[in-house]
């Protein structure tokens, strides 16, 4: 009964370093999403995927790349980290019939870029 699992939970990066955040879901969901949460701003969509092998840009995609090579995994990459990318990152997934089932979220990754 794992649901959506994010790794790592915490990370500190130096400016210019790269890293990949992993999101894994075991619910056979088609749709997966990456959000960032900043104080006072709610969650904003970075990228999303509507199925294996597909990705699309969300509201704030600049500085991030994603891949969905396997249905259960959605990876978020930062090629050259900047202090403005300090945030809490959440992954979510939903069934193909998202109208009826809503979203399931992971517990988040807290990233600090110094």
Partner 1 sequence: KQEVTQIPAALSVPEGENLVLNCSFTDSAIYNLQWFRQDPGKGLTSLLLIQSSQREQTSGRLNASLDKSSGRSTLYIAASQPGDSATYLCAVISGGYNKLIFGAGTRLAVHP
In the complex, the residues that contact partner 1 under the rule CB under 8 A are: 31, 33, 35, 40-45, 48, 50, 56, 58, 90, 92, 94, 98-108, 110
- Rounded to a whole number of angstroms, the minimum distance from the CB of residue 16 to partner 1 is 27
Q: Is the CB of 69 or the CB of 102 nearer to partner 1?
A: 102
Q: For residue 30, what is the DSSP state?
A: S
Torsions phi, psi for 44 (to 5 deg): -125, 140
Least separation in angstroms between residue 80's CB and partner 1 is 26
The owner of tokens 């790794």 is: 7
Query: From the CB of 62, what's the least distance to partner 1, in Å?
Result: 17
Parallel, antiparallel, or unpaired: how do β-strands 19-25 and 4-7 relate? antiparallel
Closer to partner 1 by Cβ: residue 17 or 71: 71
Judged by CB, which is closer to partner 1: 10, or 14?
Answer: 10
Question: No. of H helices and E strands in the chain?
Answer: 1, 11
Residue 47 has, within 13 A of its CA and on its CB side, a CA count of 20
The CB-of-41 to partner 1 minimum distance in angstroms stands at 6
The residue with tokens 């955040």 is 21
């Amino acid at each position: 009964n794992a649901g959506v699992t994010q790794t790592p939970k915490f990370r500190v990066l130096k400016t210019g370093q790269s890293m990949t955040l992993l999101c894994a879901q075991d619910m056979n969901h088609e749709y997966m999403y990456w959000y960032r949460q900043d104080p006072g701003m709610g969650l904003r969509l970075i990228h999303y995927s509507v199925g294996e092998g597909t990705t699309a840009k969300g509201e704030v995609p600049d500085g991030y790349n994603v891949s969905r090579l396997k249905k259960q995994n959605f990876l978020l990459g930062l090629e050259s980290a900047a202090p403005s990318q300090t945030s809490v990152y959440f992954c979510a997934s939903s069934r193909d019939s998202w109208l009826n089932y809503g979203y399931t979220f992971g517990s988040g990754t807290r990233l600090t870029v110094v």
